[in-house]
Structure formats: structure tokens, C-alpha cells
Chains A and B, each alone.
Chain A
Amino acid sequence: MYTIGQVAKCYALSRSTLLYYDRIGLLRPSGRSAADYRLYSARDLKRMDRIVLFRSAGLPLEAIAGLLEQEEDQLDRALEGRLAAINDEIQHLRGQQQVILKILENEGAAKHTRVLSKDTWVGMLRAAGLDEDGMRNWHVEFERTSPEGHQDFLESIGIDGAEIEQIREWSRT
């Protein structure tokens, strides 16, 4: 059995976090010492491992409490939901990033972001030796092998929705 201090140290968490987990029923230590100190079993630590894993996936504590009691397929569904939410957030943040870049519209600002612009990208493809035809083939290939990846890529370099539609349209024909 492990004391709360040992568990806290092992997971690099504060004791108050563990006390909180106990209070909300997320992780209740299975034992008590003679002096009534909390004692965690190996099984408790296994549970803690999963809590830490789900926390690092960004799941809220309430969701984790539920997940720990669930079957595997429900877990998958919860994680897929989280993944979809992350994708939405990324898209939303990209939009904000593009707006800021447009407002600032100067080299200095672009240097502070890691966003690839369309021009940078075209320059890089050209550097790889692709001419207009080569780039066209590349889009066609991209659309064929990974339509979602193509969409995501075009969004990531700040091309607007209408132009993306066009590019994907001629990539399919």
C-alpha cells in the first residue's frame, strides 16, 4: 500500500489534487492506516494510471469518472467525441489565426506564427521541382488518396472555403 505522499510524488501531483479526487469519488484509496491515513493499493494506482491518461487527452474529470465504469466501446465513443471537439477547436483557432494575420498583414507578424501560407507552400513545391502541371497532379493525387487530408491541408494554409471547393472540384476531374 502507498501513502498519499508517495502517490502524489509518483504522479507529480499535489496532495490536494488527490484529496480532491477522493472527495469527488474519482479515486478513493482502498485502505486506511492504523492512524487513519489514506492508503492506496496497486489497484488504486492502476485506476490512477487511466485517470492520468484520460486527463492528458483533455477529458474533463466528470467524463473520466463515468468512463472508468464503462465498457470499451463506450470509451471509444467518448474519445471519438473528444477528437471531433479538438478538430473543431483547431479549425476555429485557424480561423482566428488567419484573421489576425490579415489584420497585421506584414512579414514580422507572419514570422511569429507557424502557419504556412499558400505562397510559401507554392514556393516549396516549386523548389521540389514541380511546375504548374506537377502541382496539378499533386492536387489530383492528394484528392484521390486522402480527400479529408486535402481539405484539412488547404484549410491549414489559409485558403478560403470557396477556393478550396474549386481546387477540390478540378482535382476530382
Chain B
Amino acid sequence: MSENGMSKEKWVAMFRDIGLDEATMMKWHGLFEVRHPDEHQAFLEWLQIPAAEIQAIRAH
């Protein structure tokens, strides 16, 4: 685990706790990708998601 202590799992859990469901999260990634592709990449890297998985999320 990195210094910043974040992970995809923690992030997803947090979003779920504040009431976002799977469908909303998927839609959110879609919007993120369309509006701010570079920042989307940077955000996913910040969450330390492996490159192949980032590709998959962004292509979705």
C-alpha cells in the first residue's frame, strides 16, 4: 500500500457509503472520460490501479 493510503477498494466503499450505486459510478466514469480524459487517467493512477485495468475502465 502506498503512502497516500488510497486504493480503488476504499474509494468505491466511500462512494457507496454516501449513496452512489454501481450504475451511478459507471455513469460517472463515462462522464469523467468524456469531459476530462487526461484527468480521468491521472485520477485512476492516483488510486494506484494497474495500467491494464485503467485501460479497461477508460475503454468502458
A residues lining the B interface (CB < 8 Å)? 83-84, 87, 111, 113-116, 120, 123-124, 127-130, 134, 137-138, 141-142, 145-149, 152-153, 156
Q: Return the contact of B28 from the options A83, A120, A127, A137 (Cβ within 8 A).
A: A127
Contact A114 B38 (CB under 8 A): yes
Kindly state the separation between the CA atoms of A138 and B14 in the bound complex, as whole angstroms.
Answer: 7
Contact A141 B18 (CB under 8 A): yes
B residues lining the A interface (CB < 8 Å)? 2-6, 10, 13-15, 17-20, 24-25, 27-28, 31-32, 35-36, 38-39, 41-43, 46
Chain B residues within an 8 Å CB radius of A111:
38
Kindly state the separation between the CA atoms of A129 and B36 in the bound complex, as whole angstroms.
Answer: 17
Determine the residue in chain A with the shortest Cβ distance to B6.
Answer: A149
Q: Give 15 A-B contacts (CB < 8 Å), ordered by A residue.
A: A84-B3, A87-B3, A111-B38, A123-B35, A128-B28, A128-B31, A129-B24, A130-B20, A134-B19, A137-B17, A148-B3, A149-B4, A152-B6, A153-B4, A153-B46
Contact B14 A114 (CB under 8 A): no
CB distance from A108 to the nearest CB of B (A): 14
Contact B6 A153 (CB under 8 A): yes
Chain A residues within an 8 Å CB radius of B31:
124, 127-128
Determine the residue in chain A with the shortest Cβ distance to B16.
Answer: A141
Kindly state the separation between the CA atoms of A113 and B3 in the bound complex, as whole angstroms.
Answer: 23
Q: Return the contact of A116 from the options B3, B15, B24, B43 (Cβ within 8 A).
A: B43
Kindly state the separation between the CA atoms of A116 and B28 in the bound complex, as whole angstroms.
Answer: 15
Contact B5 A146 (CB under 8 A): yes
Q: Return the contact of A124 from the options B6, B14, B32 (Cβ within 8 A).
A: B32
- Asked whether A116 and B10 contact (CB < 8 A) given A83-B3, A137-B18, the answer is no
Chain B residues within an 8 Å CB radius of A137:
17-18
Contact A128 B42 (CB under 8 A): no
CB distance from B27 to the nearest CB of A (A): 8
